[in-house]
Amino acid sequence: MSVIYERVALIGLGLIAGSMAHGMRRAGLATEIVGSARSAETRKVAAEIGLCDRVVETAAEAVKDADLVVLAVPVGAMGAVAQEIVPHLKPGATVTDVGSVKRAVIDAVQPFIPENVHFVPGHPLAGTEHSGPRSGFAELFDNRWCLLVPAEGTDPEATATLRRFWEGLGANVDEMDPDHHDLVLAVTSHAPHLIAYTMVGVADDLRRVTDSEVIKYSAAGFRDFTRIAASDPTMWRDVFLNNKEATLEILGRFTEELFALQRAIRTGDGEHLHDYFTRTRAIRRGIIEAGQDTAAPNFGRSTAAS
């Protein structure tokens, strides 16, 4: 690959932004990477490990002369950051984000974007349960999807350039309407996370009764719930507060399905259970065939994985 953006500003230096920095270096996508984070400790660590070419104190300073600005902060902070950086944006620059909710981000950020700046919201569908500036790695986006949600009237060339950038980071890229994006993610990510948090919370209550048995005898299913539930609490709080309608719709459907399964168990309806599990098993096969996980034992992770 060759340089796509001369200067890239990363606002927020956690897992996603850190992985973007490593990925940009791997593919030579930027001449200079400038980073900033609200936390002084995060900035200190990022500087120590050389995550960016420069780490500066404020977002306003970071975006100066940047060709691409990436908002990698919790969804609830997007509007305030946008307001801070707008007076300092370079004409012709592209502003994007990596938030897992899109309608709320557009509503919060779009009003501040001047006419001479391109706004192309985005969402890389990649991550781990780890966070912070040390958690990033260049391969995070390889063969994962990044969804772009260009605002109405956005210059197609700006969107095309950002698409090439994400492809350079190893991602597959698609475009999607913001409301449809939020519904799809409520199914594939937001509701599953809420269910995982709930299941781990229930187990925590049980653990008080059964001493350490819930932890000691955790099988793979519960273990994976705890992995998901270890994700960044600030980020997920903001996701649910900013994607209420879609998440509540999917949780309503989930509740209906759960009641049907409860009824099947209560009445001994083995045929219903078998048919249901057969249908859901096919979804897993589809995920593997799409290259989004492997069929290896242990949920696609080696025994050495954390």
pLDDT tens for each residue of 59-96: 999 999 999 999 999 999 999 999 999 999 999 999 99
- Check residue 131 and give its pLDDT: 86
The residue ranges of every structural domain in the chain are: 5-176, 180-268
Q: Higher-confidence residue: 213 or 192?
A: 192
Per-residue pLDDT, 226: 82
Give the pLDDT band (50/70/90) at residue 256: very high
How far is residue 163's CA from residue 149's CA, in Å, rounded to a whole number? 11
Tens of pLDDT, residue by residue over 132-181, are 999 999 999 999 999 999 988 899 999 999 999 999 999 999 999 999 99
30-61 residue pLDDT tens: 999 999 999 999 999 999 999 999 999 999 99
Q: Which residue matches tokens 């919370």?
A: 201
Per-residue pLDDT at 304: 42
In the CATH scheme, what is the code of domain 5-176?
A: 3.40.50.720
Residue 269 reports pLDDT greater than 50: yes
pLDDT (tens digit per residue) in 92-131: 999 999 999 999 999 999 999 999 999 999 999 998 878 8
Question: Measured between alpha carbons, how far apart are the two ends of the chain, in Å?
Answer: 32
pLDDT at 224: 80
Q: Is the Cβ–Cβ distance between 10 and 17 less than 8 Å? A: yes
- What is the per-residue pLDDT for 23? 98
CATH number of 180-268: 1.10.3660.10
Q: For residue 296, what pLDDT band results from cuts at 50, 70 and 90?
A: confident
Nearest of 99, 135, 104 to residue 236 by alpha carbon: 99
CA 81: distance to chain centroid?
Answer: 18
**How do residues 201-248 score in pLDDT, each as one tens digit?**
887 777 665 656 766 776 667 878 888 888 888 888 999 999 999 999
Q: How far is Cα 4 from Cα 2, in angstroms, rounded to an integer?
A: 6
Residues 59 and 182: their CA atoms lie apart, in Å, by 27
Contact 128, 141 (CB under 8 A): no
**What's the confidence (pLDDT) of residue 87?**
96
d(CA 274, CA 136): 41
Give the pLDDT band (50/70/90) at residue 297.
low
